[in-house]
Structures are given as structure tokens and as C-alpha cells.
Amino acid sequence: MDNDAPISIAVFGLGHVGLTTALGFSDLGWNVIGVESDLAKMKLIQDGQVPFNEYGISDLLAKNLHSGRFSVTADIKEAVCNANILIMCVGTPQDTDGTADISQLQNLARKIGQNITSHKIVVQKSTAPVNTAAKLKEILLSNIQNSKGSNDELVDIVVIPEFLREGNALHDFFNPHRIVIGLDNFDLKDMLGCIYKPLLVKMGKNESEILIYTDISSAEISKHTANAFLATKISFVNMIADLCTKVGADVEDVARSIGMDPRIGSDFLKPGIGFGGSCLPKDLAAFIQVGKINSIDFSFLEEVNKINELRISNYINQVINVLGDLKEKTLGVWGLSFKPGTDDIRDSPAIRIVSELIKLKANLRVHDPYAITAFKEFIGVSDRIYYAESPSDATVGVNAILVLTDWVQYKEEDFKVIRNYVNDPLIFDGRNLFDPDLLTNEGFQYYGIGR
Ligand code: UDX
């Protein structure tokens, strides 16, 4: 790449990660072209509308469309011709055996390759198994047409994994704990460091405090390792929660006691009905397959997954042990999304529990601040479900309240009032959201996780 050429970035795939990345770089002052092949989505974004919920992103879209630094297209050729850094943010969904399906990345690499006529840095940001970047480089090179001289010199592949949390994606983009850059051509360090320079200035940090340069495989493994480790912490604390239930201890006290040791850390030690969402379960499954492919014993991670799977039946059994047969019982459900702050119900433990309860012929009064529309689409028509307008509406006449997502607004409910709505004052707090003493004082029977 001509080192004096102005930097211009193209981001392919404008989902949560792609749009956040595109707008983040644009806001840092770079010219960014967003490429979205779904025409309806592309037009929405072009018109300043965001096709998913993500805190703060609508305002940033409006600002950067207005500045002219961000534009949107469906035309891959236009983006490849006009940008020198090409960031791939397309999906890598889970295959039936848990393997990550990298076909969207492969297809995109083919199309990008067909349009390359000058040197490009191609960044793999989508989460993918180790060795994916090497495969993509082969595809890119073998699809370059009409090039004079060696194709090898026209493409450098780089891996920059994303560590963005849904609902906090913009915050995480602008306040990263680290930026991992995996590359095999270390001459690119200046150019890649340069695109993050405005961010480092904003954060008041030196390059060495945030940027980590690694080889390509290490960068790919870093992402899977990060999510597998977070999943491990959650399953670990949930395993301890099972012990606490058995012996009458309080897992919240145990978690606090160990979390204050900085070697352990208090984050991701929240017990409950388990981890879900579009990343942790999928990345854990894909990483287990990476272990298998490389003949490494990753059975440890299989246990992490197994402990998480068991959360669903453990919770339902806890309810059945108290209420008996759930047939025709009425249950108030608080929360459907996989975590608070999002309407995303993908792989949500709440949804798995609700689906089981319907199979058991319970009647449900469900509430979620954001996720009702997504849930209706998922579940279809069911005469067993009443869509409550408020958390308290979900408790009218119920035999128990089930807390499945730790939305902070549920903590603001007045249980003196709720006590008059419910038929039976029972609460199964699947996220340990509430203070058991507070609810007991209001006349409720409280059942938490591991306490
Ligand atoms: C995760 C990673 O945090 C992020 O770095 C990565 O890029 C994408 O995957 P996200 O899926 O948005 O982000 O959700 P996260 O906040 O990590 O929560 C994942 C799940 O774990 C949720 O279902 C949450 O309820 C659960 N969780 C989290 C717990 O059960 N206990 C905890 O202590 C923390």
C-alpha cells in the first residue's frame, strides 16, 4: 500500500459489530464506507435508521451521516476501490455440530478478491476459529483478476477481534481494555496503529497500554479464549451455587469473598440461570470444536457448557419442587432477553425456560421492557401467554413470579402493592436480583439461586 495514500476504511456487514465499528472509526475522523448486502437494511441505515437496538447508535449514525464521513452502499466493488483498509464483520453462526460456519466470510473474501486491483489490508473482525484468516487469504489471492505481477503483494490479512458487549457496544468501542492486532507483516504496525491514534488521544493512553500486536493465530485464539474464560467464570460460580443450595450457604457471599481477590476479580461471578446471547454459547461451542480438530483435550470446556445447560432444568425443578405440577398454574415472568439492556432473545436462558413452561402447560403472564416484539415473533400464537403491559400487570393472580432477566427496573417495583396482586406470594429469582430479606419482610416466600 502506498504509505502516503489517505486512509479510507470499508466495513462489510452492518450488524451490531459492523455498524458500531464503522461509526466508531468515522467518529474518530476517518472516511468510512459501510457495506450491507441486505438492501432493505442498507436503505434503512442510509436513511439514518438503525435496524437493531443498541444504546447511542442512532445519534452517532445521524451525526456521522451528516458529517459526510460515513456513507452506506451495497456495492462491494465501490467499497473495495475506494478504501484501503477493508474490515470484515459478517456473521459466523453455529453449525449443527457447534463448529463456526465461516461461509459468509469465505463468500465475502471471494467477492472482495475479485475486485482488488491495488494493495489492500483486509481485516477479519468476525469471530472465527484459528486458521480462518489463512484460509481467507488464500481465497482473496486466488480471486484477484487482471493483476500485473504477483498477487501476493496485493493483500495483507490482519485479525482484529471484537470484544464489544451488546447494549454497551459504543462504550466498549471508545473505551477498550485492549485492542488485539494479529498480523504477519509487521511493516503494517504504523498504518494500523495510526487508525487507532485518535482513539488513544481521546483516552489519554499510550499505544503500549492498549495495543497488543500478535501473530495472526494468537489473535484468533485470543477472542475464543476470552469468551470461553468468561463462560467458565459463570459456570464455575453456578457450580458453587449448587453446593450452596445443598448445604444452605449463600453463593452471593462466596462470590463476593473470592471476587475481592484481584487475582480472581468480581466480574462474571453472578450466579443465575446461565449465560446466553449470540456470543458466549456459540463461541464456547466453536472453541470446543477447535480443540477436537487439533486433538487437544478441551473436555474442561465441555463441562462449562454442561453446567450451563443444567441451569434450565435446575431452575424449572426448583419451581416444580415448590409448586408441584405446573399444569394450569399461572406464572408471572419478568424478563425474556438474554441480559438486561437489549431486546435480543437469541439463546436466551429465559426463552428456553418459558418454552419448557409452555410444554408443561403452565399459563404465563410475561413482561419484558424491550423484548416482547422479538419474543412474539419467536413464539408465534399461544393462548397460554398473556402479554403484560407492566411488571405489576404480569403478577395479577399468579401462583408465583419468575425473575428471568435482571432488568434494574424490576427492583423499583413496590412489593407491598404486588403482594395484593398475586394469588400466592412466591418469587423464584433466577438472577438473584432481589434482597431476600426485603421480600420476606413483604410476606413473600423467596427462592434464589444458591442462597
Ligand atoms: C459477550 C462478551 O462479554 C463480549 O466481550 C463479546 O465480544 C461478545 O460476547 P454479550 O454477549 O453482549 O458479550 O453479553 P455479556 O454481557 O458478556 O453476557 C453474556 C451472558 O452471560 C448473559 O446471558 C448474561 O446474563 C450472563 N452472565 C454474565 C451471567 O450469567 N453472569 C455474569 O456474571 C455475567
Quick one: pLDDT at residue 142?
A: 94
Residues facing residue 442 across a β-bridge: none
Q: Residue 280 C-alpha to ligand 1 middle, in angstroms?
A: 7
| Ligand 1 pocket residues where CB is under 6 Å | 162-166, 227, 230, 234, 268-270, 272, 275-277, 279-280, 338-339
If you take atom 7 of ligand 1, which residue's CA is the nearest one? Answer: 163
Quick one: pLDDT at residue 119?
A: 94
Low-confidence ranges of the chain (pLDDT < 50): none
The CB density around residue 440, as the number of other CB atoms within 10 Å, is 13
Atom of ligand 1 at shortest range from CA of 339: 25
In terms of residues, how long is the chain?
451
CA 86 and chain centroid, separation:
23
Interaxial angle between packed helices 280-293 and 216-247, expressed in degrees from 0 to 180 and rounded to the nearest 10: 120
- What angle (nearest 5°) sits at the alpha carbon of residue 397, between those of residues 358 and 351? 30
List the grid coordinates of 276: 446466553
Quick one: pLDDT at residue 211?
A: 97
pTM summary value: 0.95
Q: What are the start-end ranges of the H helices in 324-406? A: 349-359, 372-379
Domains and CATH numbers, the chain: 8-214 (3.40.50.720), 238-447 (3.40.50.720)
Quick one: pLDDT at residue 207?
A: 95
Quick one: pLDDT at residue 3?
A: 52
Instruction: Write out pLDDT tens, residues 384-416.
Output: 999 999 999 999 999 999 999 999 999 999 999
Pocket residue to mutate for ligand 1, from 233, 275, 403, 408, most atoms within 8 A of Cβ: 275
Quick one: pLDDT at residue 4?
A: 57
